[in-house]
Structure 1
């Protein structure tokens, strides 16, 4: 089972977005039969079987084993991944093209870049898995709080200069036979504010104890 699978086929994407099939995929993080799933999702076994056949046809679940119980053969299946992402490839005709924006300060360009990353890394993961090779990637995730918009702008400017210097230092202008191109994406965006349901307002007692 993969940690994350990227769905490129439109039909598979449609199947995964169905609420019942999405619930079945969630339950199939661990192997289970249609009978076991019927109890968990509260549906008749025949209806669960119908959804399982669709998910299996689109490569979202796979057979783990077959168990013989009397005159019946019970099929045990498992999701092919713990989580799924839908690639922009599944919406090829309307997927965002980073070349249309090319503006460092555009949120739409950031989304287009993120979409392209999902598409390209998904293909690379599939290729590496087929070749039984490890995929060389690197990522940094963190948060920084700016005192002002001016500080944020200054940070972005210095970060751009630093990245450009690193690229100039390590970029092979005349690629060697063993060299390989890599894509570099650096992003900065505000952190989402917590929703009222998840935020915690201190009680009067908590406030007095501070």
Structure 2
């Protein structure tokens, strides 16, 4: 999967948001269709692109492909990213990205498995905004929130129950457009 993220393959994924054939892509990118075909097969095998249609052209079948999504979330592990030196720093952006990436990866895999079995994956989300008056308030808030969560977990945690992972994260809210 690491090769799926080469610059050419990223370019193909972006371009294939609109369906195209290998011949069309080769002309646009000014490269041999055979070379492009190899990369397209790898992307298709990885499930990142899919066949939209097949059409007859001059004695052969032309395959029209498209990206399977408008955007992809990439696991930093695939990019060769090593454990963040800030991993123990709960206030580091790298730690938040690692936790969010793990969550997306794990939930996507479990959701796909549940769908294959015709089941629903039970999850929950809590989302809100808070406004801090001073930078030091973030640290105090984090400590208070962690304590409150520990108390609630202690009330509901059952050793024989099904485990759920709970992630609390905060980041600056983007400015409204």
Same fold (TM over 0.5): yes
**Matching of residue 138 in structure 1 with residue 124 in structure 2:** yes
Name the CA shift for 1:33/1:105 in 2 (closer, same or farther; >3 Å).
closer
The CA RMSD measured in Å over matched residues stands at 3.5
Name the CA shift for 1:33/1:111 in 2 (closer, same or farther; >3 Å).
closer
Match of 2:70 in 1: 82
Match of 2:152 in 1: 166
Shift of 1:108: 5.1
Distance (Å, rounded) in 2 between the aligned partners of 1:81 and 1:182: 28
Contact kept in structure 2, 1:31 and 1:76, CA below 8 Å = yes
**Matching of residue 22 in structure 1 with residue 4 in structure 2:** no
- Choose which of 136, 145, 167 in structure 2 pairs with 1:185: 167
- Choose which of 2, 7, 25 in structure 2 pairs with 1:13: 2
TM-score, normalised by the number of residues in structure 2: 0.72
Distance (Å, rounded) in 2 between the aligned partners of 1:126 and 1:95: 27
Shift of 1:150: 3.6
Count of residues in correspondence between the two structures: 175
Q: What does 1:150-165 align with in structure 2 at a 5 Å threshold?
A: 150-165=136-151
Contact kept in structure 2, 1:88 and 1:119, CA below 8 Å = no
- Choose which of 87, 111, 115 in structure 2 pairs with 1:125: 111
TM-score, normalised by the number of residues in structure 1: 0.63
Unpaired runs of 5+ residues, structure 1, are 1-11, 195-210
Match of 1:52 in 2: 40
**Structure number with higher strand proportion:** 1
Match of 1:37 in 2: 25
Contact kept in structure 2, 1:67 and 1:75, CA below 8 Å = yes
Unpaired runs of 5+ residues, structure 2, are none
Distance (Å, rounded) in 1 between the aligned partners of 2:19 and 2:51: 9
